[in-house]
Structure formats: C-alpha cells, structure tokens
C-alpha cells in the first residue's frame, strides 16, 4: 500500500459550530475516524500542524507548511494537506514555487461543508486527494469535486457550490470518473533538477484592481508604505487609463523607485498582452512586467517568492519570464 502523510491546518473541513459561528476544532484523530473507509486503502500517518481558518493563513504560515513538507516528505509516496478553501489557491500557488521539484505529489483539499455535516463534500474531496497523492505525479495540486488542478492554476470561483475551484487557463491535471483517477500527464510540470526547497518570501506585496477613474496617487501611498512589489489587475488584455489620471507615468515612477510592478488582466480567462494597445505598450516601455495568463494568486505569490530571492528588478523580470510550476504559458 502507498504511504501517505496527512497534514491538517484547520479550515471548514475541520470546523464545528461555536459561539461566534463555524470554527476549526476537529483534530486529525477525529478526521481519521470520519474517513476510515478511505484510509483503509493506504498506510496513513496523521499530523496536526495548524488549526486556523484559512483567512488567517498568511506568508508566515506558508513558510511553516512548506518547512513541514520539506522535513517530512522523505519516506512517503504523497502528502495530503487539509486547508480552508478561501485562501487555498494562494497557498497552493506559493507552495508550488517554494517546493519546486518536490518528487512526490502534495495535494491540498478541503470542503464547503464541515466533515461532521451529514451532507459534507469533505469525504469525497479527501478520497480524490488521496488518490492523487498515491498517483506518483510530482508537484503541488488542489483536489476538489473530483477534479485535480495544478497548484498554480487553481482559483476559487464559487462561495458555496461544491464545484468551488476551477483550473484557469490550463487543463485539469486529473479527473475522477468511472474509470478511476485519470492523469493528464501533459499538464504535470517535469522535474528539472533535485529538490531544494526555497522558503524565502517577501510579504511586502499588494494586489490592486483597477477601476475607471482610479486616482494614481494611491500608488504614492503604497510607495510610502515601503511595499516592494505591486500586482495590478488591468482592464481586458492590458488597458490602463492615462488621460486625466495618468496611471502609466505613476507606474513608471514606481519602477524607477525600485518597486517591481507586475500587470495582468482582471479577466479570469485568457492572457493579457500589453503589445496590442497603446496603453499597454506605454506600460511596457516604462518597465512593468507582464503577467500574461497567470492567475492573480499565482502572480502575487510568485512576486513574493521572486522578491524573497532578489531585489534586482532585472532578475525579477527574468523570473517572471520563466515557467517554474505550470503557472504561465511562456510566449514563443
């Protein structure tokens, strides 16, 4: 039998009603009781590492989770991590970078209803996660609603539906149907070298979504707050207003001040391309970095990871031009 490690971090799947609403209370022992039918097919070890609502999982927790995986992955065929759904896509993305070239599957999952609920989706999600963890496909993934997504392509798109996650701008890594777990091997990023975890992060990164008429002075405030990186969700394929309120010149000011500025699209699907329109070309001339078809979650966490490694904007730009974990379709 495949040997699987289950790490718990809290989230809805481990929650029960409390005085102020649902709160994570169930430990791994209680979780084990609920999924005996699943774990009978594997040799499973359990470990509680956090007990948090995922809204409270931040860069420090990402580093801690990555450290735990790095220290304990040897001797296991795969790792399952239970996690709250609200920030799961961020955690999956950043783990994909910090744990690049990990030789086993690391699969995040959770649920929209607590596992103690009679109609929970948690058991089925864990069933899928264990199957993916035993698949031998290396990398970081999200398993939800009988679909498996690359960690860097997962986006939560529904607040209550069981089909909460979609694979954005990339095919699913695996699907579960009557044939069992079917891997799409073309989606699995190949190992490019030995596993050397890189847990350095710079948390001084902010995401800004443009709205028509946004005052460019907001970026002065971010500069004074000592942010090192900014991800901007632009309009469409890469629109930025510069009449009356000149965002392009403001972004140039940020770049000249040593701030890494990554610009992607607020559209969920398809790529941004700043070479199409005048506004986008002006932004490129001023030194902004294109996000192409990355999700916002991947762009934010990749920028945190890049700035954790270097403050040199040319090196950050080079990192963003490279596909590390399936997060970007590199133009040819």
User: Catalytic residue numbers?
Assistant: 12
Cα separation of 35 and 32, whole Å?
A: 5
Instruction: Indicate the SS3 state at residue 122.
Output: helix
Q: If you ran DSSP here, which 8-state letter would residue 314 be given?
A: H
Cα separation of 252 and 82, whole Å?
A: 42
DSSP string over 169-238:
TS--SEEEETTEEEE-TTTSPPP-S-----------EEEEE--TT--TTHHHHHHHTT-SEEEEEEBTTT
Cα–Cα distances in angstroms (integers) from residue 303 to residues 52, 94, 206, in the given order? 25, 10, 10
Phi, psi of 52 (to 5 degrees): -130, 145
Cα–Cα distances in angstroms (integers) from residue 110 to residues 81, 228, 284, 303, 306, in the given order? 8, 32, 39, 26, 28
Cα separation of 128 and 7, whole Å?
A: 16
> Pick from 62, 86, 230: which is nearest to 155 by CA?
86
CA atoms within 13 A on the CB side of 46: 15
65-87: burial string, b at 16+ Cβ within 10 Å, e else: bbebbbeebeebbbbbbbbbbbb
Cα separation of 313 and 323, whole Å?
A: 18
Phi, psi of 325 (to 5 degrees): -145, 35
Phi, psi of 294 (to 5 degrees): -70, 145
> Pick from 293, 320, 57, 301: which is nearest to 167 by CA?
293
CB 205 within 8 A of CB 304: yes
């Amino acid at each position: 039998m495949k040997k699987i490690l289950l790490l718990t971090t809290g989230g809805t799947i481990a929650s029960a009603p409390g005085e102020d609403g649902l709160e994570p209370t169930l430990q791994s022992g209680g979780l084990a009781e609920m999924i005996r039918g699943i774990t009978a097919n594997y040799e499973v070890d359990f470990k509680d590492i956090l007990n948090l609502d995922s809204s409270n999982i931040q860069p420090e927790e990402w580093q801690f989770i990555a450290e735990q995986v790095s220290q304990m992955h040897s001797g296991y065929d795969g790792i399952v991590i239970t996690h709250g759904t609200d920030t799961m896509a961020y955690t999956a993305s950043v783990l994909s970078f910090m744990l690049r070239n990990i030789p086993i599957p690391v699969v995040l999952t959770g649920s929209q209803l607590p596992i103690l609920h009679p109609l929970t989706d948690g058991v089925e999600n864990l069933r899928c996660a264990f199957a993916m963890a035993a698949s031998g496909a290396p990398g970081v993934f999200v398993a939800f609603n009988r679909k498996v997504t690359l960690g860097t392509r997962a986006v939560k798109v529904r607040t209550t539906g069981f089909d909460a996650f979609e694979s954005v701008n990339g095919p699913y890594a695996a699907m579960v149907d009557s044939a069992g777990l079917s891997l799409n091997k073309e989606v699995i990023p190949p190992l490019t070298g030995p596993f050397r975890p890189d847990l350095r992060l710079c948390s001084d990164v902010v995401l800004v979504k443009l709205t028509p008429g946004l005052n460019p002075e907001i970026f002065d405030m971010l500069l004074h707050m000592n942010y090192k990186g900014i991800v901007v969700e632009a309009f469409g394929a890469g629109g930025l207003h510069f009449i009356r309120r000149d965002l392009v010149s403001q972004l140039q000011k940020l770049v000249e001040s040593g701030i890494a500025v990554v610009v992607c699209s607020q559209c969920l699907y398809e790529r941004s391309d700043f070479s199409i329109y005048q506004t986008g070309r002006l932004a490129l001339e001023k030194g902004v970095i294109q996000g192409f078809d990355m999700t916002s979650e991947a762009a934010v966490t990749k920028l945190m990871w890049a700035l954790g490694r270097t403050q040199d904007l040319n090196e950050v730009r080079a990192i963003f031009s490279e596909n590390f974990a399936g997060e970007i379709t590199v133009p040819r």
